Chain A
Amino acid sequence: MSTETVKFEPEYAQPLLQEIMDRSGQNLLACYQCRRCAAGCPVSDEAGVTPDRLIRMIVFGQKEEALKNFLVWRCVACYTCGERCPNNIQTARITETLKQISKKANLEPLVPKVAAFHDSFLKSATNNGRLSEMEFMILLLKKIKNAGGWSAVIAEMKSQSKLGKALYKKKRIHFGSEKVKNLSEIKKLVKKAEAFS
Protein backbone atom coordinates (compact mmCIF):
# COMPACT_ATOMS: atom_id res chain seq x y z
CA MET A 1 0.00 0.00 0.00
CA SER A 2 1.37 3.36 -0.92
CA THR A 3 0.64 6.45 1.06
CA GLU A 4 0.43 9.86 -0.47
CA THR A 5 1.45 12.95 1.37
CA VAL A 6 -1.22 15.59 1.29
CA LYS A 7 0.08 19.11 0.97
CA PHE A 8 -1.76 21.79 2.86
CA GLU A 9 -1.18 25.33 1.68
CA PRO A 10 -3.45 27.74 3.53
CA GLU A 11 -3.24 30.57 0.95
CA TYR A 12 -4.22 28.14 -1.78
CA ALA A 13 -7.01 26.48 0.20
CA GLN A 14 -8.54 29.61 1.72
CA PRO A 15 -10.70 31.02 -1.13
CA LEU A 16 -12.67 27.82 -1.76
CA LEU A 17 -13.09 27.11 1.95
CA GLN A 18 -14.29 30.64 2.62
CA GLU A 19 -16.74 30.63 -0.27
CA ILE A 20 -18.31 27.36 0.85
CA MET A 21 -18.46 28.41 4.49
CA ASP A 22 -20.15 31.69 3.53
CA ARG A 23 -22.67 30.17 1.17
CA SER A 24 -23.57 27.11 3.23
CA GLY A 25 -23.47 28.80 6.61
CA GLN A 26 -21.50 25.81 7.96
CA ASN A 27 -18.31 26.06 9.99
CA LEU A 28 -16.19 23.44 8.25
CA LEU A 29 -13.21 24.29 10.43
CA ALA A 30 -15.03 22.83 13.43
CA CYS A 31 -14.84 19.34 11.91
CA TYR A 32 -12.46 17.12 13.90
CA GLN A 33 -12.90 14.06 11.69
CA CYS A 34 -14.72 11.89 14.21
CA ARG A 35 -16.77 10.35 11.37
CA ARG A 36 -20.08 10.08 13.17
CA CYS A 37 -21.52 11.52 9.98
CA ALA A 38 -19.94 8.76 7.92
CA ALA A 39 -21.45 6.04 10.10
CA GLY A 40 -24.99 7.25 9.42
CA CYS A 41 -24.81 8.37 5.80
CA PRO A 42 -27.16 6.07 3.85
CA VAL A 43 -25.51 6.70 0.48
CA SER A 44 -21.89 6.27 1.56
CA ASP A 45 -21.54 2.96 -0.33
CA GLU A 46 -22.85 4.40 -3.59
CA ALA A 47 -21.06 7.71 -3.17
CA GLY A 48 -17.67 6.28 -2.23
CA VAL A 49 -17.09 9.50 -0.30
CA THR A 50 -18.37 10.25 3.19
CA PRO A 51 -19.18 13.71 4.61
CA ASP A 52 -15.93 13.90 6.61
CA ARG A 53 -13.92 13.22 3.42
CA LEU A 54 -15.78 15.90 1.52
CA ILE A 55 -15.10 18.41 4.27
CA ARG A 56 -11.42 17.49 4.26
CA MET A 57 -11.22 18.04 0.47
CA ILE A 58 -12.68 21.50 0.87
CA VAL A 59 -10.45 22.43 3.80
CA PHE A 60 -7.46 21.43 1.68
CA GLY A 61 -8.70 23.44 -1.28
CA GLN A 62 -9.15 20.45 -3.59
CA LYS A 63 -11.75 22.13 -5.76
CA GLU A 64 -11.96 19.60 -8.56
CA GLU A 65 -12.43 16.67 -6.17
CA ALA A 66 -14.91 18.60 -4.07
CA LEU A 67 -17.13 19.41 -7.05
CA LYS A 68 -16.79 16.11 -8.88
CA ASN A 69 -17.56 13.37 -6.41
CA PHE A 70 -20.64 11.26 -6.01
CA LEU A 71 -21.55 12.45 -2.52
CA VAL A 72 -22.35 15.89 -3.92
CA TRP A 73 -24.66 14.39 -6.50
CA ARG A 74 -26.10 11.42 -4.65
CA CYS A 75 -26.69 13.02 -1.22
CA VAL A 76 -30.39 12.47 -0.53
CA ALA A 77 -30.58 15.36 1.96
CA CYS A 78 -31.67 13.12 4.80
CA TYR A 79 -29.91 15.34 7.38
CA THR A 80 -28.68 12.34 9.39
CA CYS A 81 -25.06 13.53 9.30
CA GLY A 82 -26.00 16.98 10.57
CA GLU A 83 -28.23 15.62 13.31
CA ARG A 84 -25.43 13.47 14.66
CA CYS A 85 -22.46 15.77 14.12
CA PRO A 86 -21.13 16.93 17.51
CA ASN A 87 -20.13 20.19 15.83
CA ASN A 88 -23.46 20.79 14.16
CA ILE A 89 -22.13 20.64 10.62
CA GLN A 90 -24.88 20.02 8.07
CA THR A 91 -23.22 18.32 5.13
CA ALA A 92 -26.46 18.45 3.13
CA ARG A 93 -26.05 22.22 3.06
CA ILE A 94 -22.50 21.76 1.82
CA THR A 95 -23.55 19.37 -0.95
CA GLU A 96 -26.31 21.74 -2.05
CA THR A 97 -23.82 24.61 -2.08
CA LEU A 98 -21.44 22.61 -4.25
CA LYS A 99 -24.24 21.78 -6.69
CA GLN A 100 -25.07 25.48 -6.89
CA ILE A 101 -21.42 26.48 -7.42
CA SER A 102 -21.14 23.86 -10.13
CA LYS A 103 -24.26 25.15 -11.87
CA LYS A 104 -23.11 28.74 -11.68
CA ALA A 105 -19.78 27.81 -13.25
CA ASN A 106 -21.60 25.84 -15.97
CA LEU A 107 -19.79 22.64 -15.08
CA GLU A 108 -21.19 19.35 -16.33
CA PRO A 109 -22.92 17.70 -13.34
CA LEU A 110 -21.51 14.30 -12.41
CA VAL A 111 -25.03 12.83 -12.41
CA PRO A 112 -26.80 15.03 -14.99
CA LYS A 113 -30.23 13.62 -14.26
CA VAL A 114 -30.08 14.82 -10.65
CA ALA A 115 -29.48 18.39 -11.77
CA ALA A 116 -32.10 18.09 -14.53
CA PHE A 117 -34.67 16.77 -12.07
CA HIS A 118 -34.33 19.56 -9.53
CA ASP A 119 -34.08 22.31 -12.16
CA SER A 120 -37.23 21.07 -13.89
CA PHE A 121 -39.11 20.80 -10.62
CA LEU A 122 -38.31 24.34 -9.59
CA LYS A 123 -39.03 25.66 -13.08
CA SER A 124 -42.51 24.15 -13.11
CA ALA A 125 -43.20 25.21 -9.53
CA THR A 126 -42.34 28.84 -10.30
CA ASN A 127 -44.00 28.92 -13.75
CA ASN A 128 -47.43 28.51 -12.22
CA GLY A 129 -46.76 29.05 -8.54
CA ARG A 130 -47.80 25.44 -8.01
CA LEU A 131 -46.12 22.35 -9.33
CA SER A 132 -47.73 20.68 -12.28
CA GLU A 133 -46.56 17.07 -12.19
CA MET A 134 -47.16 16.77 -15.96
CA GLU A 135 -45.26 19.91 -16.91
CA PHE A 136 -42.46 18.84 -14.58
CA MET A 137 -42.13 15.48 -16.36
CA ILE A 138 -42.17 17.16 -19.78
CA LEU A 139 -39.46 19.62 -18.75
CA LEU A 140 -37.39 16.75 -17.38
CA LEU A 141 -37.78 14.73 -20.60
CA LYS A 142 -36.73 17.77 -22.63
CA LYS A 143 -33.53 18.00 -20.62
CA ILE A 144 -32.95 14.28 -21.01
CA LYS A 145 -33.39 14.70 -24.76
CA ASN A 146 -30.93 17.58 -24.92
CA ALA A 147 -28.33 15.52 -23.10
CA GLY A 148 -28.87 12.06 -24.59
CA GLY A 149 -31.10 12.43 -27.64
CA TRP A 150 -34.39 10.69 -28.37
CA SER A 151 -33.06 7.24 -27.46
CA ALA A 152 -32.53 8.46 -23.90
CA VAL A 153 -36.08 9.81 -23.82
CA ILE A 154 -37.50 6.51 -25.05
CA ALA A 155 -35.49 4.55 -22.48
CA GLU A 156 -36.74 6.83 -19.73
CA MET A 157 -40.36 6.55 -20.85
CA LYS A 158 -40.07 2.79 -21.09
CA SER A 159 -38.71 2.52 -17.58
CA GLN A 160 -41.54 4.66 -16.21
CA SER A 161 -44.41 3.39 -18.38
CA LYS A 162 -45.56 0.47 -16.22
CA LEU A 163 -45.62 2.69 -13.18
CA GLY A 164 -47.37 5.45 -15.09
CA LYS A 165 -50.17 3.10 -16.11
CA ALA A 166 -50.60 1.84 -12.56
CA LEU A 167 -50.74 5.38 -11.21
CA TYR A 168 -53.23 6.37 -13.88
CA LYS A 169 -55.52 3.49 -12.97
CA LYS A 170 -55.53 4.63 -9.36
CA LYS A 171 -56.31 8.20 -10.41
CA ARG A 172 -52.98 9.38 -9.09
CA ILE A 173 -51.87 11.18 -12.24
CA HIS A 174 -53.25 14.63 -12.85
CA PHE A 175 -53.02 16.26 -16.21
CA GLY A 176 -54.31 19.64 -15.19
CA SER A 177 -52.32 22.35 -13.49
CA GLU A 178 -53.23 24.85 -10.83
CA LYS A 179 -52.11 28.43 -10.98
CA VAL A 180 -51.51 30.94 -8.23
CA LYS A 181 -53.73 34.01 -8.77
CA ASN A 182 -51.10 36.46 -7.64
CA LEU A 183 -48.46 35.00 -9.93
CA SER A 184 -46.64 38.32 -10.28
CA GLU A 185 -45.58 37.98 -6.66
CA ILE A 186 -43.91 34.65 -7.39
CA LYS A 187 -42.20 36.17 -10.43
CA LYS A 188 -40.85 39.00 -8.30
CA LEU A 189 -39.36 36.49 -5.89
CA VAL A 190 -37.77 34.59 -8.76
CA LYS A 191 -36.26 37.82 -10.07
CA LYS A 192 -34.90 38.64 -6.66
CA ALA A 193 -33.41 35.15 -6.41
CA GLU A 194 -31.51 35.73 -9.65
CA ALA A 195 -30.06 38.94 -8.30
CA PHE A 196 -29.30 37.27 -4.98
CA SER A 197 -27.27 34.34 -6.34
Chain B
Amino acid sequence: MKIAYYPGCSLHASSAFYDHQTKIVTKKLGIELVELDDWNCCGATSACKTDTFLSIALPARNLGIADASGLDELVIPCSSCYSRSLVAQSVLADNQELKDMINSELSKKVSGRVKILSIVELLLKKVNLPQFDEQVKYKLEGFKPACYYGCLLTRFPYDIKVSDNVENPQGLDIICKRVGAHPVDWNYKTDCCGASATVNDTEVALKLMSKIMKDAIARGANCFVTTCPMCQLNLDAYQDMVREKYNISQRMPVYFITELVGLSLGLSERDLQIDRHLIDATGLLKEIKQV
Protein backbone atom coordinates (compact mmCIF):
# COMPACT_ATOMS: atom_id res chain seq x y z
CA MET B 1 0.00 0.00 0.00
CA LYS B 2 1.64 3.22 -1.25
CA ILE B 3 0.52 6.54 0.17
CA ALA B 4 1.71 10.08 -0.48
CA TYR B 5 3.21 11.73 2.60
CA TYR B 6 3.42 15.38 3.63
CA PRO B 7 5.57 15.82 6.75
CA GLY B 8 5.51 19.63 7.03
CA CYS B 9 8.06 21.86 8.76
CA SER B 10 7.62 20.69 12.38
CA LEU B 11 8.35 17.10 11.43
CA HIS B 12 11.55 18.25 9.75
CA ALA B 13 12.65 20.30 12.77
CA SER B 14 11.51 20.33 16.41
CA SER B 15 9.44 17.16 16.02
CA ALA B 16 11.78 15.25 13.72
CA PHE B 17 11.30 12.14 15.84
CA TYR B 18 7.60 12.14 14.93
CA ASP B 19 8.57 12.00 11.25
CA HIS B 20 10.91 9.13 12.02
CA GLN B 21 8.28 7.24 14.06
CA THR B 22 5.62 7.75 11.42
CA LYS B 23 7.90 6.20 8.82
CA ILE B 24 8.97 3.16 10.82
CA VAL B 25 5.53 2.44 12.28
CA THR B 26 3.70 2.64 8.96
CA LYS B 27 6.40 0.48 7.39
CA LYS B 28 5.74 -2.20 10.00
CA LEU B 29 2.09 -1.98 9.09
CA GLY B 30 2.86 -2.57 5.43
CA ILE B 31 2.43 1.01 4.26
CA GLU B 32 4.99 2.66 2.01
CA LEU B 33 5.06 6.44 2.44
CA VAL B 34 6.15 8.48 -0.57
CA GLU B 35 7.20 11.96 0.54
CA LEU B 36 5.88 14.74 -1.70
CA ASP B 37 8.64 16.05 -3.88
CA ASP B 38 9.73 19.61 -3.04
CA TRP B 39 6.85 20.30 -0.64
CA ASN B 40 6.50 23.72 1.02
CA CYS B 41 5.25 25.12 4.34
CA CYS B 42 1.43 25.16 4.57
CA GLY B 43 1.46 28.58 6.29
CA ALA B 44 -0.21 27.15 9.41
CA THR B 45 -2.28 29.40 11.68
CA SER B 46 -0.08 32.39 10.90
CA ALA B 47 -1.08 32.55 7.24
CA CYS B 48 -4.78 32.46 8.19
CA LYS B 49 -4.31 35.31 10.57
CA THR B 50 -2.35 37.52 8.20
CA ASP B 51 -3.01 36.57 4.59
CA THR B 52 -6.11 34.69 3.45
CA PHE B 53 -4.85 34.21 -0.11
CA LEU B 54 -1.59 32.58 0.99
CA SER B 55 -3.42 30.45 3.54
CA ILE B 56 -5.04 28.73 0.56
CA ALA B 57 -2.29 29.09 -2.05
CA LEU B 58 0.55 27.62 0.04
CA PRO B 59 -1.16 24.31 0.82
CA ALA B 60 -2.56 24.32 -2.73
CA ARG B 61 0.94 23.99 -4.16
CA ASN B 62 1.43 20.80 -2.10
CA LEU B 63 -1.95 19.49 -3.18
CA GLY B 64 -0.95 20.02 -6.81
CA ILE B 65 2.18 17.95 -6.23
CA ALA B 66 0.10 15.24 -4.54
CA ASP B 67 -2.53 15.26 -7.30
CA ALA B 68 0.23 14.83 -9.88
CA SER B 69 1.87 11.98 -7.95
CA GLY B 70 -0.64 9.46 -9.22
CA LEU B 71 -1.25 8.22 -5.67
CA ASP B 72 -4.82 8.22 -4.38
CA GLU B 73 -4.26 9.15 -0.76
CA LEU B 74 -2.14 11.69 1.07
CA VAL B 75 -1.41 11.33 4.78
CA ILE B 76 -0.61 14.42 6.87
CA PRO B 77 0.33 13.63 10.50
CA CYS B 78 0.55 17.25 11.73
CA SER B 79 -2.94 18.41 12.69
CA SER B 80 -2.30 21.96 11.58
CA CYS B 81 -0.98 20.98 8.14
CA TYR B 82 -3.84 18.48 7.83
CA SER B 83 -6.42 21.12 8.65
CA ARG B 84 -4.96 23.77 6.34
CA SER B 85 -4.63 21.34 3.45
CA LEU B 86 -8.16 20.05 3.84
CA VAL B 87 -9.52 23.59 4.00
CA ALA B 88 -7.58 24.59 0.88
CA GLN B 89 -8.88 21.58 -1.01
CA SER B 90 -12.48 22.31 -0.01
CA VAL B 91 -12.26 26.04 -0.75
CA LEU B 92 -10.80 25.38 -4.20
CA ALA B 93 -13.43 22.75 -4.97
CA ASP B 94 -16.06 25.45 -4.41
CA ASN B 95 -14.23 28.35 -6.04
CA GLN B 96 -13.19 27.74 -9.64
CA GLU B 97 -12.02 31.32 -10.13
CA LEU B 98 -9.57 31.15 -7.23
CA LYS B 99 -8.48 27.69 -8.31
CA ASP B 100 -7.66 28.95 -11.82
CA MET B 101 -5.85 31.94 -10.39
CA ILE B 102 -3.64 29.76 -8.17
CA ASN B 103 -3.18 27.04 -10.78
CA SER B 104 -1.90 29.59 -13.28
CA GLU B 105 1.20 29.98 -11.06
CA LEU B 106 1.75 26.29 -10.37
CA SER B 107 3.74 23.81 -12.43
CA LYS B 108 1.74 20.97 -10.85
CA LYS B 109 -1.89 22.00 -10.85
CA VAL B 110 -4.50 21.23 -8.24
CA SER B 111 -7.17 18.89 -9.55
CA GLY B 112 -8.63 17.94 -6.19
CA ARG B 113 -8.38 14.21 -6.73
CA VAL B 114 -6.16 13.16 -3.83
CA LYS B 115 -7.90 12.03 -0.64
CA ILE B 116 -6.36 13.65 2.45
CA LEU B 117 -6.01 11.45 5.56
CA SER B 118 -5.04 12.28 9.10
CA ILE B 119 -2.64 9.89 10.83
CA VAL B 120 -5.60 8.64 12.88
CA GLU B 121 -7.57 7.75 9.76
CA LEU B 122 -4.57 5.95 8.29
CA LEU B 123 -3.76 3.99 11.44
CA LEU B 124 -7.42 3.03 11.93
CA LYS B 125 -7.44 1.35 8.54
CA LYS B 126 -4.73 -1.02 9.77
CA VAL B 127 -5.45 -1.50 13.48
CA ASN B 128 -9.09 -2.30 12.78
CA LEU B 129 -8.09 -5.32 10.69
CA PRO B 130 -8.26 -8.71 12.46
CA GLN B 131 -4.67 -9.44 11.32
CA PHE B 132 -3.47 -6.58 13.49
CA ASP B 133 -3.90 -8.76 16.59
CA GLU B 134 -1.23 -11.09 15.27
CA GLN B 135 1.17 -8.19 14.86
CA VAL B 136 0.75 -6.94 18.43
CA LYS B 137 3.74 -8.11 20.45
CA TYR B 138 3.18 -6.01 23.55
CA LYS B 139 0.06 -4.81 25.36
CA LEU B 140 0.26 -1.30 26.83
CA GLU B 141 -1.48 -2.47 30.00
CA GLY B 142 -0.50 0.26 32.44
CA PHE B 143 -1.16 3.11 30.03
CA LYS B 144 -4.19 5.22 30.91
CA PRO B 145 -4.01 7.90 28.25
CA ALA B 146 -6.12 11.00 27.99
CA CYS B 147 -6.55 11.03 24.21
CA TYR B 148 -6.07 14.62 23.23
CA TYR B 149 -7.43 15.59 19.80
CA GLY B 150 -7.09 19.35 20.16
CA CYS B 151 -8.80 21.78 17.80
CA LEU B 152 -7.71 20.87 14.36
CA LEU B 153 -8.63 17.24 13.81
CA THR B 154 -12.37 17.77 14.02
CA ARG B 155 -13.15 21.50 13.80
CA PHE B 156 -12.64 23.50 10.65
CA PRO B 157 -13.31 27.12 9.73
CA TYR B 158 -15.10 25.85 6.65
CA ASP B 159 -17.82 23.28 5.97
CA ILE B 160 -15.94 20.02 5.96
CA LYS B 161 -17.35 16.58 6.68
CA VAL B 162 -15.54 14.96 9.56
CA SER B 163 -15.08 11.21 9.83
CA ASP B 164 -15.33 11.24 13.63
CA ASN B 165 -17.68 12.68 16.24
CA VAL B 166 -16.94 16.39 16.48
CA GLU B 167 -17.51 16.95 20.20
CA ASN B 168 -16.48 13.49 21.38
CA PRO B 169 -14.15 11.93 18.81
CA GLN B 170 -13.17 8.29 19.23
CA GLY B 171 -10.43 7.53 16.67
CA LEU B 172 -7.47 7.83 19.03
CA ASP B 173 -9.35 6.02 21.80
CA ILE B 174 -10.04 3.09 19.47
CA ILE B 175 -6.38 2.84 18.47
CA CYS B 176 -5.28 2.98 22.12
CA LYS B 177 -7.67 0.18 23.06
CA ARG B 178 -6.41 -1.95 20.18
CA VAL B 179 -2.89 -1.82 21.66
CA GLY B 180 -4.08 -2.72 25.13
CA ALA B 181 -4.11 0.74 26.71
CA HIS B 182 -7.02 2.02 28.80
CA PRO B 183 -7.97 5.50 27.62
CA VAL B 184 -9.94 7.57 30.14
CA ASP B 185 -13.22 9.31 29.47
CA TRP B 186 -12.66 13.04 29.94
CA ASN B 187 -13.98 16.47 29.07
CA TYR B 188 -11.12 18.34 27.43
CA LYS B 189 -10.23 16.08 24.53
CA THR B 190 -11.05 18.72 21.93
CA ASP B 191 -10.26 21.85 23.91
CA CYS B 192 -7.57 24.23 22.72
CA CYS B 193 -4.11 24.10 24.38
CA GLY B 194 -3.21 27.51 22.99
CA ALA B 195 -0.12 26.34 21.10
CA SER B 196 -0.26 29.24 18.64
CA ALA B 197 -0.31 31.67 21.58
CA THR B 198 2.35 30.25 23.89
CA VAL B 199 5.14 32.50 22.68
CA ASN B 200 3.06 35.60 21.98
CA ASP B 201 0.32 35.45 24.65
CA THR B 202 1.79 33.13 27.28
CA GLU B 203 -0.75 33.69 30.05
CA VAL B 204 -3.65 32.57 27.88
CA ALA B 205 -1.83 29.42 26.77
CA LEU B 206 -0.78 28.45 30.30
CA LYS B 207 -4.32 28.78 31.52
CA LEU B 208 -5.74 26.66 28.72
CA MET B 209 -3.14 23.98 29.38
CA SER B 210 -3.86 24.01 33.11
CA LYS B 211 -7.51 23.14 32.49
CA ILE B 212 -6.51 20.28 30.22
CA MET B 213 -3.98 18.94 32.73
CA LYS B 214 -6.33 19.17 35.69
CA ASP B 215 -9.20 17.35 34.03
CA ALA B 216 -6.95 14.61 32.65
CA ILE B 217 -5.46 14.00 36.10
CA ALA B 218 -8.85 14.12 37.83
CA ARG B 219 -10.05 11.42 35.45
CA GLY B 220 -7.16 9.14 36.38
CA ALA B 221 -5.05 9.51 33.24
CA ASN B 222 -1.31 8.91 33.51
CA CYS B 223 -0.31 10.30 30.11
CA PHE B 224 -1.54 12.21 27.07
CA VAL B 225 -1.70 10.86 23.55
CA THR B 226 -1.90 13.21 20.61
CA THR B 227 -1.25 13.53 16.88
CA CYS B 228 -0.36 17.19 16.71
CA PRO B 229 3.32 18.24 16.96
CA MET B 230 2.26 21.71 18.14
CA CYS B 231 0.11 20.32 20.96
CA GLN B 232 2.82 17.79 21.84
CA LEU B 233 5.56 20.39 22.05
CA ASN B 234 3.32 22.82 23.92
CA LEU B 235 2.15 20.37 26.60
CA ASP B 236 5.61 18.82 26.83
CA ALA B 237 7.81 21.91 26.91
CA TYR B 238 5.61 24.23 28.96
CA GLN B 239 4.16 21.64 31.32
CA ASP B 240 6.47 22.43 34.22
CA MET B 241 5.61 26.12 33.91
CA VAL B 242 1.90 25.24 33.99
CA ARG B 243 2.38 22.94 36.97
CA GLU B 244 4.23 25.56 38.92
CA LYS B 245 1.76 28.34 38.21
CA TYR B 246 -1.37 26.26 38.81
CA ASN B 247 -0.14 24.01 41.62
CA ILE B 248 -0.32 20.72 39.80
CA SER B 249 1.97 18.08 41.27
CA GLN B 250 1.70 15.29 38.71
CA ARG B 251 3.79 15.22 35.55
CA MET B 252 2.25 13.68 32.46
CA PRO B 253 4.24 12.37 29.50
CA VAL B 254 2.81 13.49 26.17
CA TYR B 255 3.01 10.72 23.58
CA PHE B 256 2.43 10.73 19.88
CA ILE B 257 0.00 7.99 18.84
CA THR B 258 2.80 6.55 16.70
CA GLU B 259 4.76 5.80 19.87
CA LEU B 260 1.98 3.68 21.37
CA VAL B 261 1.38 1.77 18.16
CA GLY B 262 5.13 1.37 17.60
CA LEU B 263 5.71 -0.01 21.10
CA SER B 264 2.91 -2.53 20.67
CA LEU B 265 4.45 -3.68 17.40
CA GLY B 266 7.69 -4.40 19.21
CA LEU B 267 9.69 -1.32 18.25
CA SER B 268 12.00 -0.28 21.04
CA GLU B 269 12.27 2.93 23.00
CA ARG B 270 15.43 3.58 21.04
CA ASP B 271 13.92 2.80 17.65
CA LEU B 272 11.17 5.30 18.41
CA GLN B 273 13.48 7.90 20.03
CA ILE B 274 11.23 8.18 23.06
CA ASP B 275 14.08 9.87 24.93
CA ARG B 276 13.41 13.11 23.05
CA HIS B 277 10.50 14.16 25.24
CA LEU B 278 11.00 16.96 27.75
CA ILE B 279 8.68 15.34 30.31
CA ASP B 280 10.16 11.89 30.80
CA ALA B 281 8.20 9.38 28.77
CA THR B 282 10.31 6.31 29.47
CA GLY B 283 9.10 5.62 33.05
CA LEU B 284 5.74 4.26 31.94
CA LEU B 285 7.38 1.81 29.58
CA LYS B 286 7.93 -0.72 32.35
CA GLU B 287 4.16 -1.17 32.38
CA ILE B 288 4.23 -2.84 29.00
CA LYS B 289 3.42 -6.56 28.94
CA GLN B 290 4.64 -9.01 26.35
CA VAL B 291 1.79 -10.87 24.71
What is the interface of chain A, defined by CB distance below 8 A to chain B? 23, 42-43, 46, 73-74, 76-80, 82-83, 88, 90, 92-93, 96-97, 99-100, 103, 111, 113-119, 121-122, 125-126, 129-133, 140, 159-160, 163, 166-167, 170-174, 178, 180-182, 185-186, 188-190, 192-193, 196-197
Task: Flag whether B101 is at the interface (Cβ < 8 A).
Answer: yes
Size category, B interface: 35 or more
Within the assembled complex, what's the spacing in Å between the Cα atoms of A183 and B156? 29
Among B46-54, B117-125, B134-142, the one that faces the other chain is B46-54
Of A83, A122, A170, the residue contacting B166 (CB under 8 A) is: A83
CB-based contact B57/A172 at 8 Å: no
**Is there an interface contact between B48 and A96, defined as CB atoms closer than 8 Å?**
yes
The interface residues of chain B lying within 8 Å CB-to-CB of A46 are 203-204, 207
Are B57 and A99 within 8 A (Cβ)? no
Tally of contacts, chain A with chain B, CB under 8 A: 177
The interface bits of chain B over 11-45 (1 if a CB of A lies within 8 angstroms of the residue's CB, else 0) are 01111100000000000000000000011110111
Q: A82-B155, A100-B51, A125-B46 given as contacts; is B192 within 8 A of A42 (CB)?
A: yes
Q: Is the CB of B105 within 8 A of A185?
A: yes
Residues of chain A contacted by B39 (CB below 8 angstroms): 130, 180
Q: With the chains together, A157 CA to B208 CA distance in Å?
A: 23
Indicate if the CB atoms of A83 and B155 lie closer than 8 Å: yes
Q: B288 contacts the other chain (Cβ, under 8 Å)?
A: no
Q: Using a CB–CB distance below 8 Å, which chain B residues touch chain A?
A: 9, 12-16, 38-41, 43-54, 57-58, 61, 101-102, 105-107, 151, 155-159, 166-167, 191-192, 194, 196-197, 199-204, 207-208, 233, 237-238, 275-278
